[in-house]
């Protein structure tokens, strides 16, 4: 079972839910896909070691073979190649490593070199199997690092995936192949607005989803009313709690100090499992 924790709006409590849910389960793996700023390990405190570099194949043009025909530049959908009067200019950070320009070059003038865009790290100790991706500073290829990170999911275990905020490519890369997505939101106008964007993404991708309303006692009831109207499962409600915020600021997962929440997260997991199974069952 692969479960993503996502949201439209940032700061709604994804990491809080992902870490506390993973710690409440036995034998769960936790993956921090927020590769621009992974922060799950602030709460776990595990020693991490590098598992692998994430590289992208980037073109290099041999000037002696190139006749500036422009076929490579015409092919590239990402504007990573520009034909100048006497040269082909390459914008490495725009290149997605598709390899197409190398194939279309009629003069075999293009070769490829590895360019490092990030790194995958894994825990060497701790009660959870934990992995995170780390995008190199200045690199925009977030999705490549997320894809590489997800290769390390053990298909026989339960994987909890902490997704980045928003609804753009990094979120799609994080949730694409999951069995279920938990959308964490808050009862504010901004939370409600961005939840609806995230719901649209899940519907388009055909991923089953439910909602956790965090800080449920701030703002108004619009999120809850909307979920009831639309038949969206409300999986859990977490109140605004000074103690949760205090523990967070000390890097302590709140299930460790407030053990009653472990049962609630276990119940959440059971609900998610049965909702996902119901969806997989063929209609009678």
Of 6, 14, 76, 145, which lies in the binding site for ligand ATP, with binding defined by CB under 6 A? 14
**DSSP label at residue 4:** E
Contact 19, 253 (CB under 8 A): yes
**DSSP label at residue 282:** P
Please give the radius of gyration of the chain, using alpha carbons only, rounded to the nearest integer.
Answer: 22
Contact 89, 81 (CB under 8 A): yes
- Beta-ladder partners of 213: 185, 237
Residue 170 touches ligand ATP, criterion: CB under 6 A? no
Of 10, 99, 140, 259, which lies in the binding site for ligand ATP, with binding defined by CB under 6 A? 10
The set of residues, in sequence order, having a beta carbon less than 8 Å from that of 37 and lying 6+ positions away, is: none
Looking at the Cβ atoms of 5 and 129, the one nearer to ligand ATP is 5
- Beta-ladder partners of 5: 162, 182
Segment near ligand SF4 (CB under 6 A); pick from 42-50, 63-71, 184-192, 260-268: 63-71
For residue 188, the minimal CB distance to ligand ATP (Å) is: 12
Token pair in block for residue 97: 């490593």
The set of residues, in sequence order, having a beta carbon less than 8 Å from that of 136 and lying 6+ positions away, is: 116, 117, 118, 119
| Residue 129 binds which of ligand ATP, ligand SF4, none (CB < 5-8 A, kind-dependent) | none
Looking at the Cβ atoms of 66 and 252, the one nearer to ligand SF4 is 66
Residues 90-119 interacting with ligand SF4 (rule: CB under 6 A): 95-101, 105, 107, 109-110
Q: Which residues bind ligand ATP (CB under 6 A)?
A: 7, 10-16, 34, 165, 214-215, 238, 240-241, 244-245, 248
Q: Which residues bind ligand SF4 (CB under 6 A)?
A: 59, 61, 66-72, 75-76, 78, 80-81, 83, 88, 95-101, 105, 107, 109-110
């Amino acid at each position: 079972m692969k479960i993503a924790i996502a949201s439209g709006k940032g700061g709604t409590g994804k990491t809080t839910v992902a870490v506390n849910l993973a710690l409440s389960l036995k034998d769960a793996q936790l993956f921090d896909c927020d590769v621009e700023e992974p922060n799950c390990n602030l709460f776990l405190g595990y020693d991490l070691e590098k598992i692998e570099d994430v590289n992208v194949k980037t073109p290099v043009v041999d000037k002696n073979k190139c006749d500036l025909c422009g076929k490579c530049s015409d092919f590239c959908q990402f504007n990573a190649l520009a034909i100048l009067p006497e040269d082909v200019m390459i914008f490495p950070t725009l290149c997605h490593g598709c390899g197409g320009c190398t194939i279309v070059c009629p003069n075999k003038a293009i070769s490829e070199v590895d360019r490092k865009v990030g790194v995958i790290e894994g825990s060497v100790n701790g009660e959870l199997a934990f992995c995170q991706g780390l995008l190199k500073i200045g690199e925009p290829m977030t999705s490549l690092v997320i894809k590489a990170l997800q290769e390390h999911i053990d298909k026989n275990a339960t994987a909890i995936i902490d997704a980045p905020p928003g609804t753009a490519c990094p979120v799609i890369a994080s949730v694409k192949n999951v069995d279920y997505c938990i959308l964490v939101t808050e009862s504010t106008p901004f939370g409600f607005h961005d939840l609806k964007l995230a719901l649209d993404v899940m519907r388009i991708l055909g991923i089953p989803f439910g909602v956790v309303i965090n800080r449920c006692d701030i703002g108004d009831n619009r999120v809850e009313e909307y979920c009831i109207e639309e038949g969206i499962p409300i999986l859990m409600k977490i109140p605004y709690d000074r103690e949760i915020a205090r523990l967070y600021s000390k890097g302590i997962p709140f299930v460790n100090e407030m053990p009653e929440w472990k049962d609630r997260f276990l119940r959440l997991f059971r609900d998610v499992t049965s909702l996902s199974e119901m969806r997989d069952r063929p209609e009678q």
